[in-house]
Protein backbone atom coordinates (compact mmCIF):
# COMPACT_ATOMS: atom_id res chain seq x y z
CA UNK A 1 0.00 0.00 0.00
CA UNK A 2 1.32 3.41 -0.98
CA UNK A 3 -0.90 6.12 0.45
CA UNK A 4 -0.74 9.57 -1.14
CA UNK A 5 -2.83 12.70 -0.81
CA UNK A 6 -3.85 14.59 -3.91
CA UNK A 7 -5.89 17.74 -4.31
CA UNK A 8 -6.14 20.98 -2.35
CA UNK A 9 -6.10 21.38 1.40
CA UNK A 10 -9.90 21.70 1.29
CA UNK A 11 -10.84 19.21 -1.41
CA UNK A 12 -8.05 16.62 -1.33
CA UNK A 13 -8.32 12.93 -0.49
CA UNK A 14 -5.95 10.14 0.52
CA UNK A 15 -5.78 7.20 -1.88
CA UNK A 16 -3.68 4.13 -2.45
CA UNK A 17 -1.37 4.88 -5.39
CA UNK A 18 -1.98 1.48 -7.00
CA UNK A 19 -1.03 0.40 -10.51
CA UNK A 20 -4.63 -0.56 -11.31
CA UNK A 21 -5.68 3.10 -11.13
CA UNK A 22 -4.05 3.90 -14.47
CA UNK A 23 -6.71 4.28 -17.14
CA UNK A 24 -9.52 3.59 -14.66
CA UNK A 25 -12.94 5.18 -14.21
CA UNK A 26 -13.88 7.06 -11.04
CA UNK A 27 -17.36 8.14 -10.00
CA UNK A 28 -16.89 11.36 -8.05
CA UNK A 29 -20.11 12.58 -6.44
CA UNK A 30 -20.09 16.07 -5.01
CA UNK A 31 -18.10 18.47 -7.19
CA UNK A 32 -18.97 21.79 -5.63
CA UNK A 33 -16.40 24.42 -6.59
CA UNK A 34 -13.26 22.43 -5.83
CA UNK A 35 -12.27 19.95 -8.55
CA UNK A 36 -8.64 19.75 -7.41
CA UNK A 37 -8.82 16.07 -6.48
CA UNK A 38 -10.67 15.14 -9.67
CA UNK A 39 -8.31 17.07 -11.94
CA UNK A 40 -5.17 15.71 -10.28
CA UNK A 41 -6.58 12.16 -10.30
CA UNK A 42 -7.46 12.36 -14.01
CA UNK A 43 -4.02 13.76 -14.82
CA UNK A 44 -1.94 11.41 -12.70
CA UNK A 45 -3.71 8.21 -13.78
CA UNK A 46 -5.00 9.22 -17.23
CA UNK A 47 -8.36 8.31 -15.79
CA UNK A 48 -11.96 9.14 -16.66
CA UNK A 49 -13.83 10.95 -13.90
CA UNK A 50 -17.63 11.03 -13.87
CA UNK A 51 -18.57 14.10 -11.84
CA UNK A 52 -22.04 13.74 -10.32
CA UNK A 53 -23.55 17.01 -9.09
CA UNK A 54 -26.70 18.94 -10.12
CA UNK A 55 -25.87 22.05 -8.07
CA UNK A 56 -26.04 25.15 -10.31
CA UNK A 57 -22.74 26.60 -9.08
CA UNK A 58 -21.02 23.23 -9.50
CA UNK A 59 -22.25 23.01 -13.09
CA UNK A 60 -20.95 26.51 -13.77
CA UNK A 61 -17.58 25.60 -12.23
CA UNK A 62 -17.37 22.54 -14.47
CA UNK A 63 -18.16 24.56 -17.60
CA UNK A 64 -15.46 27.06 -16.68
CA UNK A 65 -12.95 24.21 -16.31
CA UNK A 66 -13.87 22.83 -19.71
CA UNK A 67 -13.22 26.23 -21.31
CA UNK A 68 -9.69 26.32 -19.88
CA UNK A 69 -8.54 22.81 -20.85
CA UNK A 70 -4.96 22.77 -22.07
CA UNK A 71 -3.87 25.64 -19.84
CA UNK A 72 -1.31 25.60 -17.04
CA UNK A 73 -2.33 26.46 -13.49
CA UNK A 74 -0.55 29.67 -12.48
CA UNK A 75 -2.05 30.50 -9.08
CA UNK A 76 -2.02 28.49 -5.84
CA UNK A 77 -5.00 26.59 -4.54
CA UNK A 78 -7.35 28.49 -2.27
CA UNK A 79 -7.76 27.22 1.30
CA UNK A 80 -11.52 27.59 0.90
CA UNK A 81 -13.98 25.42 -0.98
CA UNK A 82 -13.98 27.73 -3.99
CA UNK A 83 -11.00 27.22 -6.29
CA UNK A 84 -10.00 29.71 -8.98
CA UNK A 85 -9.97 28.00 -12.36
CA UNK A 86 -6.40 29.23 -12.85
CA UNK A 87 -5.30 27.02 -9.94
CA UNK A 88 -5.92 23.85 -11.97
CA UNK A 89 -3.18 22.40 -14.16
CA UNK A 90 -5.29 21.42 -17.16
CA UNK A 91 -2.51 20.89 -19.69
CA UNK A 92 -2.88 17.10 -19.87
CA UNK A 93 -6.66 16.85 -19.44
CA UNK A 94 -8.87 15.85 -22.36
CA UNK A 95 -12.49 16.89 -22.41
CA UNK A 96 -13.64 13.27 -22.26
CA UNK A 97 -11.74 12.68 -19.01
CA UNK A 98 -14.04 14.97 -17.02
CA UNK A 99 -17.72 14.27 -17.65
CA UNK A 100 -20.48 15.98 -15.71
CA UNK A 101 -23.63 14.06 -14.81
CA UNK A 102 -26.13 16.61 -13.40
CA UNK A 103 -27.87 14.19 -11.04
CA UNK A 104 -28.29 13.93 -7.30
CA UNK A 105 -26.73 10.60 -6.34
CA UNK A 106 -29.24 8.76 -4.20
CA UNK A 107 -30.60 5.26 -3.51
CA UNK A 108 -33.41 5.58 -6.04
CA UNK A 109 -33.99 7.20 -9.40
CA UNK A 110 -36.60 9.86 -9.97
CA UNK A 111 -37.06 13.38 -8.69
CA UNK A 112 -35.83 14.56 -5.31
CA UNK A 113 -35.42 17.99 -3.77
CA UNK A 114 -32.20 19.85 -3.10
CA UNK A 115 -32.11 22.20 -0.13
CA UNK A 116 -29.61 25.06 -0.24
CA UNK A 117 -27.12 25.60 2.60
CA UNK A 118 -27.98 27.96 5.44
CA UNK A 119 -24.98 30.10 4.50
CA UNK A 120 -25.45 31.42 0.94
CA UNK A 121 -21.66 31.65 0.59
CA UNK A 122 -21.48 27.84 0.71
CA UNK A 123 -22.12 25.73 -2.36
CA UNK A 124 -23.11 22.29 -1.06
CA UNK A 125 -26.80 21.44 -1.20
CA UNK A 126 -28.52 18.63 0.62
CA UNK A 127 -31.12 16.10 -0.46
CA UNK A 128 -34.27 17.17 1.34
CA UNK A 129 -35.03 13.64 2.53
CA UNK A 130 -31.84 13.60 4.60
CA UNK A 131 -32.79 15.28 7.86
CA UNK A 132 -29.69 16.13 9.85
CA UNK A 133 -31.90 18.20 12.13
CA UNK A 134 -35.64 18.51 12.45
CA UNK A 135 -36.17 21.41 10.09
CA UNK A 136 -39.34 21.95 8.14
CA UNK A 137 -38.57 25.03 6.07
CA UNK A 138 -38.11 24.36 2.37
CA UNK A 139 -37.35 27.89 1.16
CA UNK A 140 -35.12 27.78 -1.88
CA UNK A 141 -35.42 24.01 -2.38
CA UNK A 142 -35.71 22.90 -5.97
CA UNK A 143 -36.38 19.60 -7.77
CA UNK A 144 -33.49 17.68 -9.32
CA UNK A 145 -33.19 14.36 -11.09
CA UNK A 146 -31.78 11.63 -8.86
CA UNK A 147 -29.88 8.56 -9.98
CA UNK A 148 -28.31 5.50 -8.37
CA UNK A 149 -24.77 4.28 -8.79
CA UNK A 150 -26.00 1.14 -10.54
CA UNK A 151 -27.89 3.27 -13.08
CA UNK A 152 -24.80 5.40 -13.70
CA UNK A 153 -22.63 2.33 -14.12
CA UNK A 154 -25.03 0.69 -16.57
CA UNK A 155 -25.38 3.81 -18.74
CA UNK A 156 -22.03 5.61 -18.53
CA UNK A 157 -19.38 3.02 -17.61
CA UNK A 158 -17.81 0.43 -19.89
CA UNK A 159 -16.36 -1.22 -16.80
CA UNK A 160 -17.28 -1.03 -13.09
CA UNK A 161 -15.79 2.01 -11.36
CA UNK A 162 -12.40 1.47 -9.75
CA UNK A 163 -12.87 4.37 -7.34
CA UNK A 164 -16.04 5.93 -5.91
CA UNK A 165 -15.89 9.23 -4.03
CA UNK A 166 -18.95 10.31 -2.03
CA UNK A 167 -18.99 13.86 -0.69
CA UNK A 168 -22.75 14.31 -0.83
CA UNK A 169 -23.89 16.02 2.36
CA UNK A 170 -25.33 13.16 4.36
CA UNK A 171 -26.59 10.95 1.53
CA UNK A 172 -23.49 8.73 1.40
CA UNK A 173 -24.72 6.09 3.84
CA UNK A 174 -27.87 5.39 1.84
CA UNK A 175 -25.89 5.35 -1.41
CA UNK A 176 -23.33 2.89 0.00
CA UNK A 177 -26.07 0.50 1.14
CA UNK A 178 -27.64 0.63 -2.31
CA UNK A 179 -24.26 0.23 -4.03
CA UNK A 180 -23.34 -2.90 -2.07
CA UNK A 181 -26.83 -4.37 -2.45
CA UNK A 182 -26.48 -4.06 -6.22
CA UNK A 183 -23.08 -5.76 -6.29
CA UNK A 184 -20.90 -2.75 -7.07
CA UNK A 185 -17.59 -3.01 -5.23
CA UNK A 186 -15.03 -0.36 -6.19
CA UNK A 187 -11.41 -1.07 -5.32
CA UNK A 188 -11.28 2.17 -3.36
CA UNK A 189 -14.11 4.05 -1.68
CA UNK A 190 -13.76 7.61 -0.41
CA UNK A 191 -16.60 8.80 1.78
CA UNK A 192 -17.35 11.83 3.92
CA UNK A 193 -19.48 10.83 6.90
CA UNK A 194 -21.49 14.02 7.45
CA UNK A 195 -23.38 12.25 10.22
CA UNK A 196 -20.32 12.59 12.45
CA UNK A 197 -20.42 16.39 12.24
CA UNK A 198 -23.72 16.54 14.11
CA UNK A 199 -24.06 15.89 17.87
CA UNK A 200 -26.71 13.25 17.34
CA UNK A 201 -26.11 9.70 18.69
CA UNK A 202 -28.55 8.19 16.19
CA UNK A 203 -26.64 9.67 13.23
CA UNK A 204 -23.29 8.65 14.71
CA UNK A 205 -24.60 5.12 15.08
CA UNK A 206 -25.66 5.14 11.42
CA UNK A 207 -22.12 5.98 10.34
CA UNK A 208 -20.76 3.18 12.53
CA UNK A 209 -23.24 0.75 10.98
CA UNK A 210 -22.06 1.66 7.49
CA UNK A 211 -18.43 1.26 8.58
CA UNK A 212 -19.26 -2.23 9.91
CA UNK A 213 -21.11 -3.08 6.70
CA UNK A 214 -18.10 -2.07 4.63
CA UNK A 215 -15.84 -4.24 6.77
CA UNK A 216 -18.24 -7.13 6.24
CA UNK A 217 -17.83 -6.70 2.48
CA UNK A 218 -14.05 -6.75 2.73
CA UNK A 219 -13.21 -3.06 2.99
CA UNK A 220 -10.58 -1.79 5.39
CA UNK A 221 -10.14 1.79 6.55
CA UNK A 222 -6.79 2.91 5.15
CA UNK A 223 -6.84 6.59 6.12
CA UNK A 224 -9.00 9.20 7.81
CA UNK A 225 -8.92 13.00 7.82
CA UNK A 226 -11.59 14.36 10.14
CA UNK A 227 -14.81 13.04 8.57
CA UNK A 228 -13.24 11.87 5.30
CA UNK A 229 -12.59 8.13 5.28
CA UNK A 230 -10.63 6.20 2.65
CA UNK A 231 -11.40 2.48 2.24
CA UNK A 232 -9.60 -0.18 0.25
CA UNK A 233 -11.27 -3.39 -0.92
CA UNK A 234 -9.57 -6.56 0.20
CA UNK A 235 -11.75 -9.65 0.11
CA UNK A 236 -15.43 -10.33 0.59
CA UNK A 237 -16.26 -12.07 3.83
CA UNK A 238 -19.96 -12.51 4.39
CA UNK A 239 -19.89 -15.38 6.82
Q: Which domains does the chain have, with CATH numbers?
A: 3-233 (3.40.50.150)
Q: Categorize the per-residue pLDDT at 26 as very low, low, confident or very high, splitting at 50, 70 and 90.
A: very high
Q: Using CA atoms, how far apart are residues 203 and 85, in angstroms rounded to an integer?
A: 36
Q: Using CA atoms, how far apart are residues 49 and 43, in angstroms rounded to an integer?
A: 10
pTM of the predicted protein model = 0.88
The stretch 28-37 carries a mean pLDDT of 96
> Is the pLDDT assigned to residue 119 strictly greater than 70?
no
> Is the pLDDT assigned to residue 113 strictly greater than 90?
no
| Phi-psi category of residue 140: left, alpha or beta, with phi > 0 → left and psi -120 to 50 → alpha | left
Q: Quick check: 138 and 173 in contact, CB under 8 A?
A: no
End-to-end CA gap in the chain: 26
Q: What is the DSSP letter of 137?
A: -
| Phi-psi category of residue 201: left, alpha or beta, with phi > 0 → left and psi -120 to 50 → alpha | alpha
pLDDT of residue 133: 45
Q: Tell me: the pLDDT tens digits for 172-226? A: 999 999 999 999 999 999 999 987 877 778 878 889 999 999 999 999 999 999 9
> Is the pLDDT assigned to residue 92 strictly greater than 70?
yes
* Helices 172-181 + 201-216 axis angle, to 10: 30
Q: Using CA atoms, how far apart are residues 68 and 184, in angstroms rounded to an integer?
A: 34
SS3 for 83-98, per residue?
CCHHHCCCCCCCHHHE
CB atoms inside a 10 Å sphere around CB 113: 16
Q: Using CA atoms, how far apart are residues 153 and 109, in angstroms rounded to an integer?
A: 13
Amino acid sequence: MNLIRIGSQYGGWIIDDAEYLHGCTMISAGLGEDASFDVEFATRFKATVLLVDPTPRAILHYLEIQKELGKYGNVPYSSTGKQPIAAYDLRAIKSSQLQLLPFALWNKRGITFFRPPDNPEHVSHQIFEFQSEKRTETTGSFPVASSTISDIVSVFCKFPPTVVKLDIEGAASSVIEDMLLNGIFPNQLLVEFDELKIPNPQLHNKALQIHALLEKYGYCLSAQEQFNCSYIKKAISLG
